[in-house]
Chains A and B, each alone.
Chain A
Protein backbone atom coordinates (compact mmCIF):
# COMPACT_ATOMS: atom_id res chain seq x y z
CA UNK A 1 0.00 0.00 0.00
CA UNK A 2 1.43 3.38 -1.00
CA UNK A 3 1.67 6.45 1.17
CA UNK A 4 -1.11 8.07 -0.86
CA UNK A 5 -3.41 5.15 -0.23
CA UNK A 6 -2.61 5.31 3.51
CA UNK A 7 -3.43 9.02 3.43
CA UNK A 8 -6.66 8.32 1.54
CA UNK A 9 -7.67 5.65 4.06
CA UNK A 10 -6.99 8.02 6.95
CA UNK A 11 -8.91 10.93 5.37
CA UNK A 12 -11.88 8.74 4.51
CA UNK A 13 -11.72 7.27 8.02
CA UNK A 14 -11.85 10.74 9.62
CA UNK A 15 -14.79 11.68 7.41
CA UNK A 16 -16.48 8.35 8.16
CA UNK A 17 -16.26 8.59 11.95
CA UNK A 18 -17.58 12.17 11.76
CA UNK A 19 -20.33 11.05 9.39
CA UNK A 20 -19.45 13.66 6.77
CA UNK A 21 -18.83 11.49 3.70
CA UNK A 22 -21.12 11.52 0.72
CA UNK A 23 -22.74 8.22 -0.21
CA UNK A 24 -20.06 7.27 -2.74
CA UNK A 25 -17.19 7.90 -0.34
CA UNK A 26 -19.12 6.22 2.44
CA UNK A 27 -19.42 3.06 0.36
CA UNK A 28 -15.79 3.33 -0.72
CA UNK A 29 -14.57 3.45 2.86
CA UNK A 30 -16.75 0.54 3.94
CA UNK A 31 -15.22 -1.48 1.10
CA UNK A 32 -11.75 -0.53 2.34
CA UNK A 33 -12.74 -1.40 5.89
CA UNK A 34 -13.90 -4.83 4.80
CA UNK A 35 -10.41 -5.53 3.47
CA UNK A 36 -8.52 -3.63 6.15
CA UNK A 37 -5.63 -5.19 8.07
CA UNK A 38 -5.41 -5.15 11.87
CA UNK A 39 -3.48 -1.86 11.98
CA UNK A 40 -6.09 -0.13 9.84
CA UNK A 41 -8.90 -1.56 11.92
CA UNK A 42 -7.16 -0.37 15.07
CA UNK A 43 -6.68 3.07 13.56
CA UNK A 44 -10.32 3.22 12.62
CA UNK A 45 -11.45 2.25 16.14
CA UNK A 46 -9.18 4.80 17.82
CA UNK A 47 -10.31 7.50 15.45
CA UNK A 48 -13.97 6.66 16.07
CA UNK A 49 -13.44 6.62 19.80
CA UNK A 50 -11.71 10.00 19.66
CA UNK A 51 -14.53 11.45 17.57
CA UNK A 52 -17.12 10.12 19.97
CA UNK A 53 -15.40 11.91 22.81
CA UNK A 54 -16.50 15.16 21.28
CA UNK A 55 -19.80 14.35 22.94
CA UNK A 56 -18.14 15.21 26.24
CA UNK A 57 -17.55 18.75 25.06
CA UNK A 58 -21.28 19.33 24.95
CA UNK A 59 -22.85 20.68 28.06
CA UNK A 60 -25.11 18.03 29.45
CA UNK A 61 -28.81 18.82 29.29
CA UNK A 62 -31.30 16.91 31.40
CA UNK A 63 -34.02 15.34 29.31
CA UNK A 64 -37.57 15.36 30.74
CA UNK A 65 -38.42 12.50 33.06
CA UNK A 66 -41.14 11.18 30.74
CA UNK A 67 -38.55 10.21 28.14
CA UNK A 68 -37.13 7.69 30.58
CA UNK A 69 -40.63 6.59 31.55
CA UNK A 70 -41.50 6.07 27.88
CA UNK A 71 -38.43 3.93 27.35
CA UNK A 72 -39.02 1.81 30.45
CA UNK A 73 -42.71 1.42 29.64
CA UNK A 74 -41.96 0.27 26.13
CA UNK A 75 -39.32 -2.28 27.04
CA UNK A 76 -41.38 -3.63 29.93
CA UNK A 77 -44.44 -4.03 27.72
CA UNK A 78 -42.56 -6.46 25.50
CA UNK A 79 -41.02 -3.97 23.12
CA UNK A 80 -38.24 -6.42 22.23
CA UNK A 81 -40.46 -9.44 21.79
CA UNK A 82 -41.71 -8.47 18.39
CA UNK A 83 -39.84 -6.78 15.59
CA UNK A 84 -43.15 -5.47 14.34
CA UNK A 85 -43.58 -3.46 17.53
CA UNK A 86 -40.39 -1.47 17.18
CA UNK A 87 -40.58 2.20 17.76
CA UNK A 88 -38.52 3.52 14.95
CA UNK A 89 -37.49 6.85 13.63
CA UNK A 90 -36.69 6.21 10.01
CA UNK A 91 -34.84 9.07 8.50
CA UNK A 92 -33.79 9.30 4.91
CA UNK A 93 -32.98 12.09 2.52
CA UNK A 94 -35.96 13.55 0.70
CA UNK A 95 -38.46 11.47 2.57
CA UNK A 96 -38.61 13.36 5.80
CA UNK A 97 -38.99 11.80 9.15
CA UNK A 98 -41.33 8.95 9.57
CA UNK A 99 -41.98 7.98 13.10
CA UNK A 100 -43.82 4.81 13.78
CA UNK A 101 -44.36 4.14 17.43
CA UNK A 102 -45.04 0.84 19.05
CA UNK A 103 -48.12 2.29 20.68
CA UNK A 104 -49.52 3.26 17.29
CA UNK A 105 -48.97 -0.25 15.97
CA UNK A 106 -50.45 -1.67 19.13
CA UNK A 107 -53.42 0.64 18.68
CA UNK A 108 -53.82 -0.64 15.12
CA UNK A 109 -53.72 -4.24 16.34
CA UNK A 110 -56.17 -3.40 19.10
CA UNK A 111 -58.41 -1.70 16.54
CA UNK A 112 -58.32 -4.78 14.33
CA UNK A 113 -59.06 -7.03 17.29
CA UNK A 114 -61.90 -4.76 18.34
CA UNK A 115 -63.23 -4.74 14.78
CA UNK A 116 -63.06 -8.56 14.59
CA UNK A 117 -64.89 -8.97 17.91
CA UNK A 118 -67.47 -6.35 16.95
CA UNK A 119 -68.01 -8.01 13.56
CA UNK A 120 -68.42 -11.42 15.23
CA UNK A 121 -70.95 -10.04 17.68
CA UNK A 122 -72.82 -8.27 14.88
CA UNK A 123 -72.86 -11.51 12.85
CA UNK A 124 -74.12 -13.46 15.86
CA UNK A 125 -76.87 -10.90 16.46
CA UNK A 126 -77.80 -11.05 12.76
CA UNK A 127 -77.98 -14.87 12.87
CA UNK A 128 -80.11 -14.82 16.01
CA UNK A 129 -82.36 -12.20 14.44
CA UNK A 130 -82.77 -14.33 11.33
CA UNK A 131 -83.59 -17.41 13.44
CA UNK A 132 -86.14 -15.41 15.43
CA UNK A 133 -87.58 -13.92 12.25
CA UNK A 134 -87.79 -17.37 10.67
CA UNK A 135 -89.50 -18.80 13.75
CA UNK A 136 -91.93 -15.89 13.83
CA UNK A 137 -92.60 -16.22 10.11
CA UNK A 138 -93.24 -19.95 10.50
CA UNK A 139 -95.69 -19.24 13.32
CA UNK A 140 -97.49 -16.65 11.20
CA UNK A 141 -97.68 -19.09 8.28
CA UNK A 142 -99.25 -21.72 10.57
CA UNK A 143 -101.81 -19.19 11.80
CA UNK A 144 -102.62 -18.18 8.25
CA UNK A 145 -102.93 -21.83 7.22
CA UNK A 146 -105.40 -22.41 10.07
CA UNK A 147 -107.38 -19.35 8.98
CA UNK A 148 -107.36 -20.55 5.38
CA UNK A 149 -108.59 -23.98 6.49
CA UNK A 150 -111.37 -22.39 8.51
CA UNK A 151 -112.33 -20.16 5.58
CA UNK A 152 -112.16 -23.15 3.26
CA UNK A 153 -114.52 -25.01 5.58
CA UNK A 154 -116.93 -22.07 5.53
CA UNK A 155 -116.68 -21.87 1.74
CA UNK A 156 -117.41 -25.60 1.48
CA UNK A 157 -120.44 -25.22 3.73
CA UNK A 158 -121.67 -22.21 1.77
CA UNK A 159 -121.17 -24.04 -1.52
CA UNK A 160 -123.13 -26.94 -0.08
CA UNK A 161 -125.91 -24.55 0.98
CA UNK A 162 -125.98 -22.91 -2.43
CA UNK A 163 -126.21 -26.32 -4.07
CA UNK A 164 -129.15 -27.21 -1.80
CA UNK A 165 -130.82 -23.86 -2.45
CA UNK A 166 -130.41 -24.34 -6.17
CA UNK A 167 -131.91 -27.76 -5.93
CA UNK A 168 -134.76 -26.35 -3.84
CA UNK A 169 -135.22 -23.56 -6.35
CA UNK A 170 -135.39 -26.00 -9.22
CA UNK A 171 -138.05 -27.95 -7.35
CA UNK A 172 -140.03 -24.79 -6.56
CA UNK A 173 -139.92 -23.75 -10.21
CA UNK A 174 -141.86 -26.89 -11.13
CA UNK A 175 -145.48 -26.60 -12.40
CA UNK A 176 -146.83 -28.53 -9.47
CA UNK A 177 -145.32 -29.04 -6.02
CA UNK A 178 -146.16 -31.61 -3.36
CA UNK A 179 -145.15 -30.93 0.25
CA UNK A 180 -145.48 -33.20 3.25
CA UNK A 181 -144.90 -31.61 6.63
CA UNK A 182 -142.84 -33.52 9.21
CA UNK A 183 -143.50 -32.88 12.87
CA UNK A 184 -141.35 -33.47 15.93
CA UNK A 185 -142.00 -36.57 17.95
CA UNK A 186 -141.47 -37.26 21.64
CA UNK A 187 -137.73 -37.57 21.20
CA UNK A 188 -137.53 -34.20 19.44
CA UNK A 189 -140.75 -32.21 20.04
CA UNK A 190 -139.35 -28.90 18.67
CA UNK A 191 -138.10 -30.39 15.44
CA UNK A 192 -139.91 -30.01 12.13
CA UNK A 193 -139.31 -30.53 8.46
CA UNK A 194 -140.68 -30.86 4.93
CA UNK A 195 -140.51 -33.28 2.07
CA UNK A 196 -140.89 -31.46 -1.22
CA UNK A 197 -141.32 -32.94 -4.66
CA UNK A 198 -141.55 -31.10 -7.99
CA UNK A 199 -143.82 -32.53 -10.63
CA UNK A 200 -141.65 -31.61 -13.63
CA UNK A 201 -138.44 -33.39 -12.65
CA UNK A 202 -139.65 -35.66 -9.89
CA UNK A 203 -136.81 -34.45 -7.68
CA UNK A 204 -137.56 -35.00 -4.00
CA UNK A 205 -135.91 -33.01 -1.18
CA UNK A 206 -136.02 -33.24 2.59
CA UNK A 207 -135.40 -30.18 4.77
CA UNK A 208 -135.32 -30.35 8.58
CA UNK A 209 -134.89 -27.77 11.39
CA UNK A 210 -134.42 -27.72 15.17
CA UNK A 211 -132.99 -31.20 15.16
CA UNK A 212 -130.88 -32.39 18.08
CA UNK A 213 -127.17 -32.71 17.48
CA UNK A 214 -126.26 -36.09 16.11
CA UNK A 215 -124.08 -38.22 18.46
CA UNK A 216 -120.73 -39.46 17.13
CA UNK A 217 -120.98 -42.52 14.85
CA UNK A 218 -124.72 -41.81 14.20
CA UNK A 219 -126.84 -40.10 11.56
CA UNK A 220 -130.47 -39.46 10.65
CA UNK A 221 -132.20 -41.86 8.27
CA UNK A 222 -135.46 -41.20 6.28
CA UNK A 223 -137.97 -44.00 5.92
CA UNK A 224 -140.96 -44.45 3.65
CA UNK A 225 -143.77 -46.47 5.15
CA UNK A 226 -145.75 -48.08 2.42
CA UNK A 227 -148.15 -50.95 2.98
CA UNK A 228 -146.85 -51.19 6.53
CA UNK A 229 -143.32 -51.74 5.28
CA UNK A 230 -140.32 -49.49 6.01
CA UNK A 231 -138.27 -48.54 2.95
CA UNK A 232 -135.04 -46.55 3.43
CA UNK A 233 -135.10 -43.22 1.56
CA UNK A 234 -131.52 -42.15 2.45
CA UNK A 235 -129.51 -40.63 5.25
CA UNK A 236 -128.51 -37.04 6.09
CA UNK A 237 -126.60 -34.97 8.64
CA UNK A 238 -127.48 -31.72 10.37
CA UNK A 239 -125.30 -28.74 11.14
CA UNK A 240 -124.51 -27.25 14.55
CA UNK A 241 -127.82 -25.29 14.41
CA UNK A 242 -129.76 -28.48 13.91
CA UNK A 243 -130.66 -27.76 10.27
CA UNK A 244 -130.29 -30.29 7.47
CA UNK A 245 -131.08 -30.59 3.77
CA UNK A 246 -130.76 -33.60 1.48
CA UNK A 247 -131.92 -34.97 -1.81
CA UNK A 248 -133.94 -38.18 -1.78
CA UNK A 249 -133.07 -40.24 -4.82
CA UNK A 250 -135.86 -42.77 -5.26
CA UNK A 251 -136.06 -42.77 -9.05
CA UNK A 252 -138.27 -40.93 -11.55
CA UNK A 253 -141.33 -42.99 -10.73
CA UNK A 254 -141.29 -42.12 -7.06
CA UNK A 255 -144.36 -40.14 -6.05
CA UNK A 256 -144.72 -38.88 -2.51
CA UNK A 257 -148.49 -38.83 -2.93
CA UNK A 258 -148.47 -42.58 -3.16
CA UNK A 259 -146.62 -42.87 0.12
CA UNK A 260 -148.48 -43.35 3.37
CA UNK A 261 -146.04 -42.00 5.90
CA UNK A 262 -142.48 -40.59 6.20
CA UNK A 263 -140.41 -40.98 9.39
CA UNK A 264 -136.94 -39.89 10.45
CA UNK A 265 -135.01 -42.03 12.94
CA UNK A 266 -131.55 -41.89 14.48
CA UNK A 267 -129.44 -44.78 13.20
CA UNK A 268 -125.84 -45.98 13.43
CA UNK A 269 -123.40 -44.54 10.91
CA UNK A 270 -123.92 -46.13 7.51
CA UNK A 271 -127.64 -46.54 8.02
CA UNK A 272 -129.85 -49.54 8.84
CA UNK A 273 -132.02 -51.92 6.80
CA UNK A 274 -134.89 -51.39 9.24
CA UNK A 275 -135.42 -48.63 11.84
CA UNK A 276 -133.61 -49.37 15.12
CA UNK A 277 -133.57 -45.99 16.87
CA UNK A 278 -136.06 -43.48 18.17
CA UNK A 279 -138.33 -41.65 15.74
CA UNK A 280 -137.57 -37.92 15.61
CA UNK A 281 -139.91 -36.70 12.86
CA UNK A 282 -143.03 -38.05 11.24
CA UNK A 283 -145.41 -36.88 8.49
CA UNK A 284 -148.10 -38.44 6.31
CA UNK A 285 -150.13 -37.65 3.27
CA UNK A 286 -152.70 -36.29 5.62
CA UNK A 287 -150.25 -33.46 6.26
CA UNK A 288 -149.71 -32.88 2.53
CA UNK A 289 -150.08 -29.34 1.32
Chain B
Protein backbone atom coordinates (compact mmCIF):
# COMPACT_ATOMS: atom_id res chain seq x y z
CA UNK B 1 0.00 0.00 0.00
CA UNK B 2 2.77 2.36 0.95
CA UNK B 3 4.82 1.36 -2.06
CA UNK B 4 1.85 1.98 -4.28
CA UNK B 5 1.42 5.39 -2.72
CA UNK B 6 5.08 6.20 -3.10
CA UNK B 7 5.23 5.29 -6.76
CA UNK B 8 2.03 7.01 -7.62
CA UNK B 9 2.59 10.36 -6.09
CA UNK B 10 1.26 10.46 -2.59
CA UNK B 11 4.67 10.40 -0.98
CA UNK B 12 5.84 13.58 -2.63
CA UNK B 13 3.03 15.66 -1.31
CA UNK B 14 3.35 14.92 2.36
CA UNK B 15 0.92 12.05 2.05
CA UNK B 16 -0.70 10.46 5.05
CA UNK B 17 1.34 7.29 4.61
CA UNK B 18 4.65 9.09 4.46
CA UNK B 19 3.72 11.40 7.30
CA UNK B 20 2.79 8.41 9.40
CA UNK B 21 6.13 6.81 8.59
CA UNK B 22 7.94 9.96 9.61
CA UNK B 23 5.99 10.20 12.87
CA UNK B 24 6.81 6.59 13.65
CA UNK B 25 10.48 7.23 12.88
CA UNK B 26 10.35 10.23 15.20
CA UNK B 27 8.91 7.86 17.81
CA UNK B 28 12.03 5.73 17.27
CA UNK B 29 10.29 2.77 15.62
CA UNK B 30 12.99 0.91 13.65
CA UNK B 31 10.29 -0.86 11.62
CA UNK B 32 9.21 2.49 10.17
CA UNK B 33 12.73 3.24 8.92
CA UNK B 34 12.88 -0.28 7.51
CA UNK B 35 9.65 0.38 5.55
CA UNK B 36 11.02 3.69 4.28
CA UNK B 37 14.24 1.95 3.24
CA UNK B 38 12.33 -0.76 1.37
CA UNK B 39 10.28 1.94 -0.32
CA UNK B 40 13.15 3.92 -1.83
CA UNK B 41 16.26 1.74 -1.59
CA UNK B 42 16.48 0.71 -5.22
CA UNK B 43 15.85 4.19 -6.63
CA UNK B 44 18.29 5.84 -4.27
CA UNK B 45 20.92 3.15 -4.73
CA UNK B 46 20.57 3.43 -8.50
CA UNK B 47 20.84 7.21 -8.27
CA UNK B 48 23.93 7.13 -6.05
CA UNK B 49 25.51 4.41 -8.16
CA UNK B 50 24.96 6.45 -11.32
CA UNK B 51 26.98 9.28 -9.79
CA UNK B 52 29.80 7.56 -7.91
CA UNK B 53 30.03 4.50 -10.18
CA UNK B 54 31.49 2.44 -7.33
CA UNK B 55 29.22 -0.09 -5.69
CA UNK B 56 30.99 -0.16 -2.31
CA UNK B 57 30.97 3.63 -2.05
CA UNK B 58 27.32 3.70 -3.09
CA UNK B 59 26.47 1.22 -0.35
CA UNK B 60 28.19 3.36 2.26
CA UNK B 61 26.44 6.51 1.09
CA UNK B 62 23.03 4.79 0.99
CA UNK B 63 23.59 3.52 4.52
CA UNK B 64 24.55 7.00 5.67
CA UNK B 65 21.47 8.55 4.04
CA UNK B 66 19.09 6.46 6.14
CA UNK B 67 21.16 6.89 9.28
CA UNK B 68 20.93 10.66 8.72
CA UNK B 69 17.16 10.40 8.36
CA UNK B 70 16.95 8.43 11.61
CA UNK B 71 19.22 10.85 13.41
CA UNK B 72 17.62 14.04 12.14
CA UNK B 73 14.02 12.81 12.21
CA UNK B 74 13.20 14.83 15.29
CA UNK B 75 13.97 18.04 13.43
CA UNK B 76 11.46 17.25 10.65
CA UNK B 77 7.93 18.58 10.49
CA UNK B 78 5.84 15.51 9.80
CA UNK B 79 3.04 17.57 8.27
CA UNK B 80 5.13 19.78 6.02
CA UNK B 81 8.45 18.05 5.42
CA UNK B 82 8.90 15.87 2.38
CA UNK B 83 10.96 12.82 3.29
CA UNK B 84 11.51 11.90 -0.36
CA UNK B 85 13.12 15.28 -1.02
CA UNK B 86 15.35 14.79 2.00
CA UNK B 87 16.36 11.31 0.86
CA UNK B 88 17.21 12.47 -2.65
CA UNK B 89 19.07 15.52 -1.36
CA UNK B 90 21.13 13.44 1.08
CA UNK B 91 21.85 10.84 -1.61
CA UNK B 92 22.94 13.30 -4.28
CA UNK B 93 24.94 15.46 -1.88
CA UNK B 94 26.80 12.45 -0.53
CA UNK B 95 27.52 11.09 -3.99
CA UNK B 96 28.48 14.42 -5.57
CA UNK B 97 30.66 15.40 -2.63
CA UNK B 98 32.39 12.05 -2.86
CA UNK B 99 33.09 12.57 -6.56
CA UNK B 100 34.29 16.12 -6.12
CA UNK B 101 36.62 15.23 -3.27
CA UNK B 102 38.06 12.01 -4.63
CA UNK B 103 38.77 12.87 -8.27
CA UNK B 104 42.36 14.09 -8.74
CA UNK B 105 41.51 16.11 -11.83
CA UNK B 106 37.79 16.48 -11.91
CA UNK B 107 37.59 18.81 -14.92
CA UNK B 108 39.41 16.42 -17.21
CA UNK B 109 37.53 13.44 -15.89
CA UNK B 110 34.16 15.09 -16.31
CA UNK B 111 35.01 16.30 -19.77
CA UNK B 112 35.98 12.79 -20.76
CA UNK B 113 32.89 11.35 -19.13
CA UNK B 114 30.58 13.67 -20.98
CA UNK B 115 31.92 12.51 -24.31
CA UNK B 116 31.06 8.94 -23.39
CA UNK B 117 27.67 7.48 -24.09
CA UNK B 118 25.44 7.05 -21.09
CA UNK B 119 25.48 3.31 -21.51
CA UNK B 120 29.12 3.30 -20.56
CA UNK B 121 28.86 5.18 -17.28
CA UNK B 122 28.62 3.44 -13.91
CA UNK B 123 31.14 0.88 -15.07
CA UNK B 124 28.62 -1.01 -17.13
CA UNK B 125 25.41 -0.12 -15.36
CA UNK B 126 22.54 0.60 -17.76
CA UNK B 127 21.78 4.08 -18.94
CA UNK B 128 19.41 5.57 -16.38
CA UNK B 129 17.52 7.29 -19.17
CA UNK B 130 16.96 4.05 -20.98
CA UNK B 131 15.73 2.26 -17.91
CA UNK B 132 12.43 0.55 -18.03
CA UNK B 133 9.59 2.87 -17.14
CA UNK B 134 7.53 0.97 -14.68
CA UNK B 135 5.12 3.57 -13.41
CA UNK B 136 3.42 6.80 -14.31
CA UNK B 137 5.88 9.00 -12.60
CA UNK B 138 8.84 7.45 -14.32
CA UNK B 139 7.07 7.69 -17.58
CA UNK B 140 6.34 11.34 -17.06
CA UNK B 141 9.96 12.07 -16.09
CA UNK B 142 11.11 10.21 -19.14
CA UNK B 143 8.66 12.09 -21.30
CA UNK B 144 9.74 15.43 -19.87
CA UNK B 145 13.39 14.66 -20.46
CA UNK B 146 12.92 13.27 -23.94
CA UNK B 147 11.11 16.46 -24.90
CA UNK B 148 14.08 18.61 -24.00
CA UNK B 149 16.54 19.88 -26.63
CA UNK B 150 19.66 17.74 -26.75
CA UNK B 151 21.89 20.38 -25.20
CA UNK B 152 19.50 20.97 -22.31
CA UNK B 153 19.31 17.23 -21.75
CA UNK B 154 23.09 16.91 -21.70
CA UNK B 155 23.35 19.75 -19.24
CA UNK B 156 20.75 18.22 -16.89
CA UNK B 157 22.39 14.80 -17.12
CA UNK B 158 25.81 16.25 -16.41
CA UNK B 159 24.49 18.20 -13.44
CA UNK B 160 22.21 15.60 -11.92
CA UNK B 161 23.88 12.30 -12.63
CA UNK B 162 27.51 13.34 -12.69
CA UNK B 163 27.49 16.11 -10.12
CA UNK B 164 29.36 18.57 -12.35
CA UNK B 165 29.32 22.28 -11.57
CA UNK B 166 28.04 24.85 -14.07
CA UNK B 167 31.61 25.92 -14.86
CA UNK B 168 32.66 22.34 -15.46
CA UNK B 169 29.71 21.73 -17.76
CA UNK B 170 30.46 24.95 -19.67
CA UNK B 171 34.09 23.90 -20.13
CA UNK B 172 33.23 20.40 -21.20
CA UNK B 173 30.61 21.58 -23.73
CA UNK B 174 32.70 24.58 -24.71
CA UNK B 175 29.83 27.01 -24.18
CA UNK B 176 29.50 30.09 -21.95
CA UNK B 177 28.45 29.56 -18.33
CA UNK B 178 25.49 31.89 -18.89
CA UNK B 179 24.15 29.54 -21.54
CA UNK B 180 24.50 26.62 -19.12
CA UNK B 181 22.54 28.53 -16.48
CA UNK B 182 19.80 29.46 -18.91
CA UNK B 183 19.48 25.94 -20.31
CA UNK B 184 19.48 24.46 -16.82
CA UNK B 185 16.64 26.73 -15.74
CA UNK B 186 14.61 25.94 -18.84
CA UNK B 187 15.14 22.24 -18.36
CA UNK B 188 14.00 22.33 -14.75
CA UNK B 189 10.99 24.47 -15.60
CA UNK B 190 10.01 22.05 -18.36
CA UNK B 191 10.30 19.13 -15.98
CA UNK B 192 8.32 21.03 -13.37
CA UNK B 193 5.56 21.70 -15.85
CA UNK B 194 5.30 18.06 -16.89
CA UNK B 195 5.38 16.70 -13.35
CA UNK B 196 3.00 19.31 -11.98
CA UNK B 197 0.62 16.70 -10.62
CA UNK B 198 3.31 14.98 -8.57
CA UNK B 199 5.42 17.79 -7.18
CA UNK B 200 4.62 19.94 -4.22
CA UNK B 201 5.75 23.11 -2.49
CA UNK B 202 6.41 21.38 0.78
CA UNK B 203 9.83 21.35 2.37
A interface with B by C-beta (< 8 Å):
10-11, 13-15, 17-22, 25, 41-42, 45-64, 67-68, 70-72, 74-76, 79-80, 86-89, 91-97, 99
Residue B100, interface by CB 8 Å? yes
Report chain A residues within 8 Å CB of B28: 80
Residue B113, interface by CB 8 Å? no
Interface size class for chain B?
35 or more
Q: When the two chains form their complex, are residues A74 and B67 in contact, meaning their CB atoms are under 8 A apart?
A: yes
Q: Distance (Å) between the CB of B80 and the closest chain A CB?
A: 10
Give Cα A88–Cα B98 distance, bound, in whole angstroms.
13
Report chain B residues within 8 Å CB of A72: 30, 33-34
Total of A-B residue pairs, C-beta within 8 Å: 199
Report chain A residues within 8 Å CB of B41: 62-63, 67-68
Query: Contacts A47-B192, A54-B141, A95-B101: A60 and B61 contacting too (C-beta < 8 A)?
Result: no
Report chain A residues within 8 Å CB of B128: 57-59
Residue B185, interface by CB 8 Å? yes
Other A-B contacts than A63-B59, A89-B98, 18 sampled, CB-CB below 8 A, are A14-B184, A14-B188, A18-B184, A19-B96, A46-B201, A47-B188, A48-B85, A49-B198, A50-B195, A53-B12, A57-B131, A58-B50, A58-B161, A59-B125, A71-B33, A71-B70, A80-B71, A87-B64
Report chain B residues within 8 Å CB of A80: 28, 70-71
Residue B84, interface by CB 8 Å? yes
Report chain A residues within 8 Å CB of B15: none
Residue B115, interface by CB 8 Å? no
Q: When the two chains form their complex, are residues B137 and A50 in contact, meaning their CB atoms are under 8 A apart?
A: no
Residue B82, interface by CB 8 Å? yes
Query: Contacts A58-B161, A60-B45, A97-B102: A18 and B201 contacting too (C-beta < 8 A)?
Result: no
